Amino acid sequence: MSPSTAIQTFRAIDVIRKKRDSIELSQAEIEYFIDAYTRGEIPDYQVSAWLMAVLLRGMTRAETAALTDAMLHSGEVLDLSGLPARKVDKHSTGGVGDKTSLVLAPLVAAAGVAVPMISGRGLGHTGGTLDKLESIPGFNVNLPVAEFRRVLESCGCAMIGQTAEIAPADRKLYALRDVTGTVESPYLICASIMSKKLAEGIDALVLDVKTGSGAFMKNENDAAFLAELMVETGERMGKRVLALITDMDQPLGNMIGNALEVVEVVDVLRGGGPQDLRELCLELAAWMLHLGGASKTVAEGRRRSAELIASGKALEKFRQMIELQAGDPRVNDDLKRLPQAQKITDVLSPKAGYLASIQCEQIGTACVILGGGRERKEDSVDPSVGIVLHKKVGDRIAKAESIASIHYNSEPRAERARQLIVESCAIADTPPTAKRLLIHKIIGRSAESN
Amino acid sequence: MSPSTAIQTFRAIDVIRKKRDSIELSQAEIEYFIDAYTRGEIPDYQVSAWLMAVLLRGMTRAETAALTDAMLHSGEVLDLSGLPARKVDKHSTGGVGDKTSLVLAPLVAAAGVAVPMISGRGLGHTGGTLDKLESIPGFNVNLPVAEFRRVLESCGCAMIGQTAEIAPADRKLYALRDVTGTVESPYLICASIMSKKLAEGIDALVLDVKTGSGAFMKNENDAAFLAELMVETGERMGKRVLALITDMDQPLGNMIGNALEVVEVVDVLRGGGPQDLRELCLELAAWMLHLGGASKTVAEGRRRSAELIASGKALEKFRQMIELQAGDPRVNDDLKRLPQAQKITDVLSPKAGYLASIQCEQIGTACVILGGGRERKEDSVDPSVGIVLHKKVGDRIAKAESIASIHYNSEPRAERARQLIVESCAIADTPPTAKRLLIHKIIGRSAESN
């Protein structure tokens, strides 16, 4: 149905009433509603009532797919069919210390699978890929679409921020959800994520859905529900989609803070880095390679990824991408070229024992307090500050041993961060009973055949 | 809590989230929300999300009372304490042919109970008291508050439209509910009705909650739920409140249309009129007298009301009120002074049998089609047109006998109305098994002691 026909046929009030009364909306009704809202023909106050009805009544899978599709087509959908390689992306629901995107884009591109990655900024306690990239001197995340395509063609990966042309309905809806208590609906979260990702013109998508104290979804069942919803929505729209439910009960890796996270990314690409981060990157890369047709099995994808790191090809790809996006590629060899905080101080353990748990969201908040994140969209970010954890959950710890180092530029901020870190680390006499698995569950049809 | 403190303490988003999550709102939170909205400090899009959450999550009795109170105090509350008489009003949820207000105001005032009545206009298939009054030549329903008080002091009753000073929050909220699918919540309906009625400065209120095919609440359980909610809300606010659940499965009385309904009002005040209308007026008046302290029991109130009609005192009071509100009091003696439609035509029964049912809402719609009501607020109303029913449910009817007369000024409109009337009257070979009771149920603490 063309938009002009739809406008004559439907009324916003009927779409609201139907959703209120749990009557399934047709694809045409949802298309009309999103299209007319994007064009300013339906006022915010009608849409916010509808959003609340969606939050409280839910949506069917068909409605969720229709909403995603309508939001996707509210703006430009990149046509990357000119690129011979398959296009695969990864999306994470966000957490603390999650820098996998920076590892995955060059690693997967090195295997011949194209990665056209459009990312976001950090907000609240979670970090953002764009902020991390911008800690690399000169790195430009604001490329026009034509330039994005050129970088992608040259080196197989490119990483930019959302442009005004991509899914404008999502931007408008997100701003409204933020002030009307309608952020938390899994259906709306799914449509928001999937519409933006599918606008990249990709063939397949790997979703990293975080769960735990540092994640948006604190509860594993909620995370699994969202994951299944996104997988089914993507599959209904003809894409290969797979989701991993992964742990965010403690920060991923050891470093939190923009430039510090780039350091850890280079460590991983050099074949080192902390075990949990490295493991998750290999697992996600393996699935991206598999869905991108570069490996017959996931096991083969895992081997291939490890080889590309060992051979230095992944790091070389990272250098290429930095250079093509106007960044200083020398950071790869000389990490001191990244912004450095003026001072470093240690957070000492008040007693001996085992690190029993970390309130992960608090660690993210401590980084924001240091200046490494933003509480409001308008805030600027200090790329140099952050936290380096020396202990992870389950580790033994001596009295007055350093739990973490704080990289800071302001004494009072460092003191507040220290207090938060101390409060968020529980030290017990005995080790925690069971260490949580990094990867909880894999969801998607492709998972079953592997 | 004073508004200025409240504003500093609360945030709209938290009020929305709490309601969304079924957490009871405090009186201070509701007060803040309504107060800030009325003053334009909370945007429509936040309030509409909250309204949808209220519709889907409901409200506790304490929340409903707090909302009513906040809306009541958003504007002027009349102080009629200078009047020695007790002040009692009646409110009807609206229906077809419901002209009881015009009988009750003078009848109850004749018994020494003051009736300060603020009414509305017709919308959709239901008629409005103000439109009926305005069919009396010269009658002015737009009195300023001081003039309203003077009429009330002079004759014990006065009937006007809502002023800008009364419950402005309700006007703003109602306009928003109308376009956001949030009209139907009993909690919001209760707060809307009760805030306006209690702003009249009354001591007691009798509610006539309609149920049936011509009512807003088609279902008797819904009507009873709303009635109980309004009674409890009024009682929590220190008023004597009682509700009657009454039948609107067929029009009340025989006449529908503005001037025609005034004719029937005068008939009742003269001691005649159709039996159902007369019975309901006596019952409502009896309760108003009882709650107003003019009769010890409801039975005594019923006798007293019948006497005031028989003695002509109620009709005389009606004449006084018309005169004080600039209307032509001669209509009481000469009903031809009311606007007359140019033509009258009969709707003949297509077959013999019994009138089994009337689709009451359709009869109201037929009157709107004739020009006697409005589909949109801006529409003007033709006071002269309408429908006179010659048969009511259960009546025997011969083939080609007149079911109803149509008073009209436009041939094509009359034809559409005729068709609707024919369609809405079901004629059966046998009489309907059980005639519905006019009064289904009486709800309120006062009911138990009578």
Contact yes or no for A20 and B56 at CB 8 A: yes
List, as one string, the DSSP characters of B173-213: HHHHHHHHT-S--HHHHHHHHHHHHHTT--SEEEEEEEEST
Q: What is the pLDDT of residue A179?
A: 93
Backbone angle region of B355, left / alpha / beta, with phi > 0 → left and psi within -120 to 50 → alpha: beta
Contact yes or no for A57 and B57 at CB 8 A: no
Nearest chain A residue to B16 by CA: give it: A181
Cross-strand partners of B92: B208
Question: How many CB pairs lie under 8 A apart between chains A and B?
Answer: 78
Nearest chain A residue to B178 by CA: give it: A13
* Interchain CB contact of B54 with A (< 8 Å): no
Is residue A119 within 8 A of residue A101, CB to CB? The reply is: yes
C-alpha torsion sign, points A301, A304, A309, A315:
negative
Chain B contacts in chain A segment 3-42 (CB below 8 A)? 12-13, 16-17, 20
Give the integer Cα–Cα distance in Å for A370 and A388: 13
pTM (2 decimals)? 0.89
* B372-417 pLDDT tens trace: 998 777 788 999 999 999 999 999 999 999 999 999 999 999 999 9
Contact yes or no for B179 and A45 at CB 8 A: yes
Contacts of A22 in chain B (CB under 8 A): none
Is residue A90 within 8 A of residue A205, CB to CB? The reply is: yes
Nearest to A45 among B53, B55, B176 (CB): B176
Is residue B20 within 8 A of residue A55, CB to CB? The reply is: yes
Contacts of B53 in chain A (CB under 8 A): 52, 56, 181
For residue A5, is pLDDT > 50? no
For residue B435, is pLDDT > 90? no
Is residue A112 within 8 A of residue A156, CB to CB? The reply is: yes
Instruction: Report domain extents, chain A.
Output: 3-58, 88-334+438-448, 341-428
- Model confidence band, residue A449 (pLDDT cutoffs 50, 70, 90): low
For residue B2, is pLDDT > 50? no
> Nearest CA to B107 among B99, B96, B115?
B115
C-alpha torsion sign, points A234, A235, A239, A243:
positive
ipTM more than 0.85?
A: yes
Contact yes or no for A16 and B180 at CB 8 A: yes
For residue B6, is pLDDT > 50? no
SS3 B92: strand
Q: If you ran DSSP here, which 8-state letter would residue A435 be given?
A: P
Give the integer Cα–Cα distance in Å for B295 and B172: 39
Q: Which range among B4-8, B69-73, B269-273, B328-332 shows the weakest confidence by mean pLDDT?
A: B4-8
* A282-314 pLDDT tens trace: 999 999 999 999 999 999 999 999 999 999 999
- Model confidence band, residue A448 (pLDDT cutoffs 50, 70, 90): low
Q: Token pair 């017709």 is at which residue?
A: B122
> Nearest CA to B406 among B345, B450, B321?
B345
* A215-260 pLDDT tens trace: 989 999 999 999 999 999 999 999 999 999 999 999 999 999 999 9
* A375-384 pLDDT tens trace: 777 788 999 9
Nearest chain B residue to A11 by CA: give it: B179
Mean pLDDT of chain A: 94
For residue A3, is pLDDT > 50? no
Give the integer Cα–Cα distance in Å for B81 and B63: 28
Active site residues of B: 91, 170, 177, 192, 196
* Most confident among A57-71, A119-133, B428-442 (mean pLDDT): A57-71
Q: If you ran DSSP here, which 8-state letter would residue A127 be given?
A: -
Q: What is the pLDDT of residue B374?
A: 84
Contact yes or no for B181 and A44 at CB 8 A: no
Contact yes or no for A181 and B13 at CB 8 A: yes
Give the integer Cα–Cα distance in Å for B38 and B73: 11
Angle at A19 between CA A185 and CA B364, to 5 degrees: 155
For residue A8, is pLDDT > 90? no
Percent share of chain B, pLDDT over 90? 88
Amino acid at B318: F
List, as one string, the DSSP characters of A59-78: --HHHHHHHHHHHHTTS---
**Candidates 3.40.30.10, 3.90.950.10, 1.10.10.410, 1.20.970.10; correct CATH number of B3-58?**
1.20.970.10
Angle at B45 between CA B41 and CA B51, to 5 degrees: 100
Cβ neighbours of B79 (radius 10 Å): 9
Q: Are strands B115-119 and A439-443 parallel, antiparallel or unpaired?
A: unpaired
Chain B contacts in chain A segment 182-201 (CB below 8 A)? 182
For residue B95, is pLDDT > 50? yes
* Interchain CB contact of B57 with A (< 8 Å): yes
Contact yes or no for B20 and A45 at CB 8 A: no
SS3 A426: strand
Nearest chain A residue to B43 by CA: give it: A45
Q: Token pair 């950071």 is at which residue?
A: A331
Mean pLDDT of A143-153: 94
Q: What Rg value do the Cα atoms of chain A yield, rounded?
A: 22
Give the integer Cα–Cα distance in Å for B274 and B262: 13
Give the contacts of B176 (CB within 8 A, at least 6 positions apart).
A45, B44, B47, B48, B51, B182
Instruction: Report residue B294: phi and psi, to 5°.
Output: -90, -5
Find which of B18, B20, B45 to mutate to test the A interface (most A CBs within 10 Å of its CB): B45
Active site residues of A: 91, 170, 177, 192, 196
Edge-to-edge strand order for the sheet containing A204-211?
A: A88-92, A204-211, A240-247, A439-443
Q: If you ran DSSP here, which 8-state letter would residue B436 be given?
A: P
Percent share of chain A, pLDDT over 90? 89
List, as one string, the DSSP characters of A35-50: HHHHTT-S-HHHHHHH
* A321-367 pLDDT tens trace: 999 999 999 999 999 999 999 999 999 999 999 999 999 999 999 99
Give the integer Cα–Cα distance in Å for B243 and B91: 9
Residue B130 vs residues A137, B79, B119, B190, B258: alpha-carbon distances, Å = 74, 23, 6, 21, 9
Nearest to B45 among A12, A20, A176 (CB): A176
Helices (H), A59-208: 61-72, 100-110, 129-134, 145-155, 168-179, 186-198
Find which of B15, B29, B50, B52 to mutate to test the A interface (most A CBs within 10 Å of its CB): B52
Helices and strands of chain A, counted as H and E runs: 18, 13
Cβ neighbours of B82 (radius 10 Å): 7
Contacts of B43 in chain A (CB under 8 A): 44-45
Q: What is the pLDDT of residue A376?
A: 77
SS3 A422: helix
CATH 3.90.1170.30 fits A341-428, yes or no: yes
Give the integer Cα–Cα distance in Å for B137 and B11: 51
Contacts of B46 in chain A (CB under 8 A): 48, 179-180
Contact yes or no for B179 and A52 at CB 8 A: no
Q: Token pair 């009396």 is at which residue?
A: B136
Cβ neighbours of B145 (radius 10 Å): 13
Amino acid at B370: L
Give the integer Cα–Cα distance in Å for A420 and A378: 24
Cβ neighbours of B343 (radius 10 Å): 13
- Model confidence band, residue A391 (pLDDT cutoffs 50, 70, 90): very high
Q: If you ran DSSP here, which 8-state letter would residue A208 be given?
A: E
Q: What is the pLDDT of residue A434?
A: 75
Is residue B176 within 8 A of residue A45, CB to CB? The reply is: yes
For residue B3, is pLDDT > 50? no
Q: What is the pLDDT of residue B333?
A: 95
* A413-432 pLDDT tens trace: 999 999 999 999 999 999 99
Contact yes or no for A181 and B48 at CB 8 A: no
Q: If you ran DSSP here, which 8-state letter would residue A375 be given?
A: S
* Interchain CB contact of B51 with A (< 8 Å): yes
Is residue B108 within 8 A of residue B157, CB to CB? The reply is: yes
* Interchain CB contact of A175 with B (< 8 Å): no
Mean pLDDT of B65-75: 97
* Interchain CB contact of B108 with A (< 8 Å): no
Give the integer Cα–Cα distance in Å for B116 and B208: 17
Is residue B122 within 8 A of residue B374, CB to CB? The reply is: yes
Q: If you ran DSSP here, which 8-state letter would residue A200 be given?
A: T
Is residue A74 within 8 A of residue A38, CB to CB? The reply is: yes
Contact yes or no for B181 and A49 at CB 8 A: yes
Q: What is the pLDDT of residue A437?
A: 85
Instruction: Report residue A386: phi and psi, to 5°.
Output: 160, -165
* B144-199 pLDDT tens trace: 999 999 999 999 999 999 888 899 999 999 999 999 999 999 999 999 999 999 99
Angle at A273 between CA A269 and CA A279, to 5 degrees: 85
List, as one string, the DSSP characters of A352-402: -EEEEEE-HHHHHHHHHHHTSS-SSTT----TT-EEEES--TT-EE-TT-E
Contact yes or no for A45 and B181 at CB 8 A: no
Architecture of domain A88-334+438-448: 3-Layer(aba) Sandwich (3.40)
* Interchain CB contact of B61 with A (< 8 Å): no
